[in-house]
Structure 1
Amino acid sequence: MCIRSALLSVLVLAACAGGPPVVAGGHATGQGAAPVAASASGWVRSELYFGLGSEEGGAADARTARIDEAGWREFLDREVTPRFPDGLTVFDAYGQWRFRDGEAPERLRTRVLVILHEDSAPRLADIEAIRQAWLRATGHESVLWSRHPVEVSF
């Protein structure tokens, strides 16, 4: 299980580095190329976008309250890692979001959580549970969820 976890983590990091996708059953390129060891079908790439607070730092209401690094790590440890212990990737980002009653978009510090997982009811329920936990913890209006089919290889 540890080898699978390590391979999944490497795959997630490699996928984020760019370049052409690895196709299940394909071969590596370059000198000494070897066939891909194992492949899996029926997987998706889920991206969750979490607003961490206003870039301007001036908003006092809960919807743009700053979430500090310790709060983010605690959320990751409590809600995400137990559901997806084999690996994930987090990006620091910048985003804009217009609140339902807002006239102009707010500029927000953002974290993008990327998880490659099986496209199954239990995994999708885990993603939704993470979203709902964030909304309860922060009082935010939304967590964007983007989901795309992927071909993965371990």
Structure 2
Amino acid sequence: MQMNQFITRRHLVGGLVLSFTLALSGCALEKPAPKTSDVHACQVGSVMAQSTLYFGMSRTDGPNITQAQWQSFVNNEVTPRFRDGLTVFRARGQWLGEDGKIAREPSRALLLIYPRDDKASNAKIEKIRKIYMQQFHQESVMRVDSSSCVSF
């Protein structure tokens, strides 16, 4: 009887070790699941980078930026860098200020589409942001980047 109990325990422990080993080896052989951001297949068109920049039209040290000033900025700074095209939207920004009050500001959103991993386009975008902040005394220009399927 003691021998049967020993064999039973031995088989049980051996079975557990074997099961555990097989489970681990199965995990090691499986490829990790791809990240959804790495797998981006387009049904139509091709994957392109999309950047949206948000420009505030208010100034703390003066009057709001006028439509003529904005259009001059687009004509002189944005269009020469993105001749293939761009889109501008009127927007209204809103955020919670440090004082706990809601702050609102007229804004413009600039949508740019360009080849993914295009370092030249990224440099142009950063230059546009820097020029706007300097020219119009802004603390920041928000940038939101994503990948999109684009077809013309």
TM interval, shorter chain, is 0.5 to 0.7
Which residue of structure 2 lines up, in the alignment, with residue 47 of structure 1?
52
Question: Could you tell me which amino acid in structure 1 is paired with residue 150 of structure 2?
Answer: V
Which residue of structure 1 lines up, in the alignment, with residue 68 of structure 2?
70
Take 2:107 and 2:93, find their aligned partners in 1: how far apart are those partners? Answer: 6
SS of 2:123's equivalent?
Answer: helix
User: 2:141 pairs with 125, 140, 143, which one?
Assistant: 143
Which residue of structure 2 lines up, in the alignment, with residue 107 of structure 1?
104
Question: Could you tell me which amino acid in structure 2 is paired with residue 82 of structure 1?
Answer: P
Take 2:150 and 2:52, find their aligned partners in 1: how far apart are those partners? Answer: 16
SS of 2:83's equivalent?
Answer: coil
% identity of equivalent residues: 35
Q: Deviations along 1:34-71, whole A, 9 cap, x unmatched?
A: xxxxx443x111100001027xxxxxx32x74000100
User: 2:127 pairs with 119, 126, 129, which one?
Assistant: 129
Is there any run of 5+ residues in structure 2 with no aligned partner, and where?
1-40
Moved over 2 A (4+): 23-26
Is there any run of 5+ residues in structure 1 with no aligned partner, and where?
1-22, 27-38, 55-60
Higher RCO (CA 8 Å, separation ≥ 6 residues): 1
1:134 CA displacement: 0.4
Which residue of structure 2 lines up, in the alignment, with residue 153 of structure 1?
151
Take 2:106 and 2:135, find their aligned partners in 1: how far apart are those partners? Answer: 17
Q: With the length of structure 1 as denominator, give the TM-score of the two structures.
A: 0.64
1:24 CA displacement: 4.5
SS of 1:53's equivalent?
Answer: coil
Which protein has the larger Cα radius of gyration, Structure 1 or Structure 2?
2
SS of 1:96's equivalent?
Answer: strand
Aligned CA-pair RMSD: 2.1
Take 1:48 and 1:68, find their aligned partners in 2: how far apart are those partners? Answer: 18
* Equivalent pairs, count: 110
